[in-house]
């Protein structure tokens, strides 16, 4: 099993990444939160990984933060949720934000996440309400808070913009911009497009 990779980021084509570890290129699929927070190609990265073997496929998923990998694994324990929906959840919300939605029973917010309809949201609440506190929330405290760019990206995704639109807008923002200002500037950029 592959639990962590450290190497040079060889390629970044969302949602796909290639990390070169000692001359071997590992292809990983990652949530947009991870893809957006990665350095430019050619820089060193360290990713937590999830190795999945199915009947006809083998896949490797990468995450910058342990809390993201934990939520990814926890979500797949819910009936009817697979890797694609789990990645969509992580692309649209941080683990602590998602845990809060589940704890408060916010079905409306859950259904705004791509791939989650009303029935799936209800199943998530039923199956994870008691589990998320221990599985995800404790892990979140160990990690650094997400950078402002991640919060801006998540806000744009929550407003209904596609991953591509949101990432493109956030990349045009000045570095270190405050979240509120960044959201305003990103919305102006998206309105012009």
- Read off the pLDDT of residues 53-62 as tens digits, 9 standing for 90 and up: 888 889 999 9
Closest Cα partner for 73 from 16, 19, 1? 1
Q: How far apart are the C-alpha atoms of 56 and 36, rounded to whole Å?
A: 30
- Read off the pLDDT of residues 111-136 as tens digits, 9 standing for 90 and up: 888 878 899 889 998 888 777 654 44
SS3 112: coil
Q: How far apart are the C-alpha atoms of 79 and 52, rounded to whole Å?
A: 17
Average the pLDDT over 18-25 and give the result.
95
The residues near 178 (Cβ < 8 Å, ≥ 6 apart) are 148
Q: How far apart are the C-alpha atoms of 123 and 81, rounded to whole Å?
A: 10
E strands, the chain, where? 4-13, 16-21, 24-29, 44-53, 58-63
Q: How far apart are the C-alpha atoms of 7 and 3, rounded to whole Å?
A: 14
Residue 128: φ, ψ to 5°: -115, -10
The number of residues in the chain equals 193
- Residue 108 CB neighbours (<10 A): 10
The residues near 180 (Cβ < 8 Å, ≥ 6 apart) are none
- Prediction pTM value: 0.66
- Read off the pLDDT of residues 142-151 as tens digits, 9 standing for 90 and up: 333 445 667 7
């Amino acid at each position: 099993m592959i639990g962590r990779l450290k190497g040079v980021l060889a390629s970044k084509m969302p949602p796909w990444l290639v990390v070169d570890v000692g001359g071997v290129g590992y292809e990983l699929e990652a949530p947009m939160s991870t893809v957006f927070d990665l350095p430019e190609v050619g820089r060193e990265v360290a990713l937590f990984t999830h190795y999945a073997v199915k009947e006809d496929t083998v896949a490797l998923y990468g995450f910058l933060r342990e809390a993201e990998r934990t939520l990814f694994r926890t979500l797949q324990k819910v009936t009817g949720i697979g890797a694609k929906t789990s990645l969509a959840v992580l692309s649209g919300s941080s683990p602590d934000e998602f845990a809060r939605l589940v704890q408060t029973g916010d079905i409306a917010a859950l259904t705004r996440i791509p791939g989650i309809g009303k029935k799936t949201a209800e199943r998530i609440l039923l199956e994870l309400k008691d589990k998320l506190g221990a599985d995800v929330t404790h892990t979140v405290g160990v990690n650094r808070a997400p950078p402002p760019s991640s919060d801006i990206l998540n806000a744009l995704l929550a407003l209904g913009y596609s991953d591509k639109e949101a990432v493109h807008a956030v990349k045009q923002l000045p570095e270190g911009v405050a979240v509120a200002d960044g959201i305003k500037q990103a919305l102006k950029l998206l309105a012009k497009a």
